[in-house]
Structure 1
Amino acid sequence: MTATEPRSDLRVTRPSTQEITTRTDSREILANARRDTERHHLQDYFIVDVDSHHVELDSWPEVLEHLDSPVLKDTAAQMMRNWPQASHLALHNHPPGLTMQDVSGRIPHQAALAEDTPGTTSGADRDVTLVRRAMDAMSIDVQVVFPQPMLETGLHPQPHVATALLQAYNRWFTSEILPREPRVKTMLGLPFEDPDACLATIEEFADHPGVIGFLVTSQRHAGVHRNAYMPVYAELERRGLPIGFHAGPNQADTMTSTMNKFLSAHAMSFVTCNMTHLTNWVINGIPERFPGLKTIWIESGLAWVPFMMQRLDHEYYMRQSDAPLLTRPPSQYMREMFYTSQPMEWTDDKLLAATLEAIDAPNSLMYSSDWPHWDFDVPGRIASLPFLDDAAKRNILGETARRVFDLEKA
C-alpha cells in the first residue's frame, strides 16, 4: 500500500468554522471522515469505493496526445492554440456555461480542485495525488475512479469524435494513472456509439492491471438491447468482467427541458436514464441471454429500484407475451444485479430500510462515495445505518465488491 502523503503542509490547528474554497485541501474537507474511521472502527473494514471521480479536464492536453487520428489531434491543437478558453475543453461537448453542480458557488470544491499539490510534475501526478488524499482521508482500500465530463460523451453531437476521445482517455488513464497507484482501479468507458469499437476496447484493455470492468455512460439515446451489442455482452461474460451503467445529468432532454430548476433536473435525470436502460435490459431478456454477466447500476441512488421492481412486475404479469425471453418476473432479475449506494436517499429510516430489504442490499449493494461531487457520501454513511448488522455493513462497504471484481485485499 502506498504510504500516506505527509501532512506537513497543513495547519496544525483549525478555527471552529473554516471557510472552504477551491484551494482547500481535500484532507481538510474530509476531516469528519477521519473521525468516522475512529468512531466506527473502519480501519478494521475492507472498504472499496465503487464510484469516484477525478478531474480529467485538468490533464486534457495530455489526454489529447493519445488521439489516433492526426486530423483530430491537429484540430484539437488548433483549438487550444487559437482559443485559450478551450485549452481544457477542445473537442469536448461539456457545457461549462451550464455547470451548476457547485450550487451557485456555495460548494466551491465541486467547481475546481485547485489545492496545492507540491512536487507534482504532470497532470497525471496531480490527479493521483488528489485521489490518494481522498482515499487516505476516507480509509478506502480500493477506489474505482471514473472521469467526470467524459461521462457526457454519450450525448456528443459527433459520435466518431466521442469514440476517439474515449479511446484517447482510456489509453492515457491506463498508461499514466493506473501504474502510479495500485489501489486505484477503473471500469473503462466503452465507445458505445460503435459496437465494433467496444469490442476493440475490451480486447485492448481487458487484461490491463487495474481494469476491473467496463462502463456505459447512461445519458445517451442508444437502446442497450440492440442486437449489435450482443457480441459486446458475450465477450464481457466470457471474460468474467462486469458491465456498469453510470448515470448522469441532462437538462436538455424532452423531460428535463420543461424543468426550470437544476434541483428538478438533477433529481430526475440521474434516475431516468438508468431506469430506461434497465427496463430495456430486463424486458428484452439480456439477463437470460447472458446469465453470467454481472451488471451494476451506478450513481442513481436506490429509491427508484423498488418502484421499478413493482412496476415492471405489474406490467409483466399482464403482458408476458411482450417479454418472451423471461422465465421469471423482472424483480427477480433485478435482485441479482448490483447497485452502488450513492446518493443514498436517507430521509426516512423506514423507507430506506424497506428499500435495502427489497434489493437484498447485503448481497447487491456496494458502497460508493462519488467524491469529489457536492453530494458525496463517506463510508460512515453506511456504517451508521441502524438497521444493518455488522456482516451486512462489511459486505456493502467492500466484501461484495471484492467478489464482484475479484479483488485482492490491498
Structure 2
Amino acid sequence: MELTSRLRLTNWLVSQGLKGLPENDLLRGFCERCRAAGMPLSRAIVFIDTLHPIFEGRGFRWNDGESNEADIFEYGSTSTGEASQTWRRSAFYHMLEHGHDEMMIDLTDSAALDFSMVGELAEKGHKHFAAFVHRFGEAGTIGEMDCFYSYYTTRHSGGFDVNHMAALRDLVPVLGLAIKSAAQVEIARTLGRVYLGRETAEQVLRGRMQRGVTEKIKAVLWYSDVRGSTAISERIGPDEIIPFLNDYAQASIDAIHDAGGEVLKLIGDGVLAMFTSENMANAKRAALRAEHKFRGNMDTLNARRASEDRPTTTAYVGLHVGEVFYGNIGSEDRLDFTVVGPAVNEVSRIASMCASVDRELLTSTAFRTGLDAAGRNYLVSTGRFVLRGIGHAQDLYTLDPAVAADEVVGGKYERYLAS
C-alpha cells in the first residue's frame, strides 16, 4: 500500500470522524479503501467498551462477501459466565495479559492454538490474522472504555506482507481515533437519555444548558408512587430493596415511553413524567394509555415475582394538566433540566390522595376537562377535596370501576385508548 494511498485514507478517516460518520460506516469505508489500494483484507472486527446500563460495549464487523452476521453487535459483561470464558481464551485477553500491542497468527496452523476465534476463521478460508490493542491514556479513559480492539484477516496465501503490516500499523490508530470519537458521542447521548430522559437529553445536547433558560409549556403531568414501598423495604433483605424498586420503576417507565411520554425525574420510588402535544386531548389520552399499560406491566411483573416468592405490590398514579416552566434550574455548576410550577406540586398531591380514597388512579378536574365525551365518561368523581398546600377545592376523578368489572366496558375502554 503506497504512502499516497495511506495519506488519502488517513485524510478520509479524519474528515469522516469530524463529520460524525457512524462506526460501522467508518469500518466499511476503511476496509473498502484498503482493498482498493491493494491490501487483501477479507474480514475485520473492531470493538470498544462503553458506558451503558445494559451492555459492556459495542462492536462492528466487515466481511469481503455476503454474510448473515450483523454489522453491529453489542456484548454484555465479560466478567462472568460463558462470556468470561470466551474472553479469557481470546487473542485480545492474551495480549492484555502479556502487554502486547499486536499479534499475528498464521491461521493455517490454527489447530495448535487455543484461541477462541481462530479455528472458525481458518475453517472459513482466512489465512492470516493480525490483531491490535490500542490503549488509551488515563485522561482518555471513560469507565471501562480504555482500549480500542481490532483484528483483520486475509485469504491471501502469503498472508499480510511487510508492507501490509506497516500500513495497518499506520492506519489502524487513526481508525481507532475516529471510532472512539463516534463512541464518545454515543456515550453522551446514552448518559443523557438514561439520567435526563429522551427529549430532555436532546434539548441539552442541542446546547440548552444556560442557567435560568426555561420555556413555559402546557403539559399533562404524571406522578406515580409505589404502594407500601416503605413497609415492604423494612420486611425484605437489603439486597432485595434495589431489585424491588427497579422492577416497578421499569414497569412504569416502559409504559410512559411506549405512550410517548417523557420521564423527567425519579424521586425515591416515585416517577414524575409529562406528555405534550399540540392537541392536549391527545396528550391526556396518551397519559391514560400509559396508565393502562402500566397496570398490565404490573400484572405481568407481579405474576413473575409471586412465582419467585418475592413481595409484590401495585402503584398510585396521579394525572393533572397545567402550565409549567421547563428548562435549566439550579446553581452555576449543578443544573437540573426539569419542570417546576404549582402544577407539579399539585400532581404529587393528587397521587398522594389515592390511598385516602382507596383508588389506584386519580385525575384532576383540569385533566378530565378537555377530554372528548367518550373519555370523560370513563372518569367518575370520587368527591371534592382540598389538597394540602393547594388553595382551592376540586373534584378528583378515577376510572369507572365498570372498566375492570365488565368485560364489555373494559373492551370499549381499550379501543378508546387505541384510537
What is the TM-score of this pair, normalised by structure 2? 0.22
> Which structure would you say has the larger RCO, counting Cα contacts within 8 Å and 6 or more residues apart?
1
Q: Which has the higher strand share?
A: 2
Which is higher, the Rg of structure 1 or of structure 2? 2
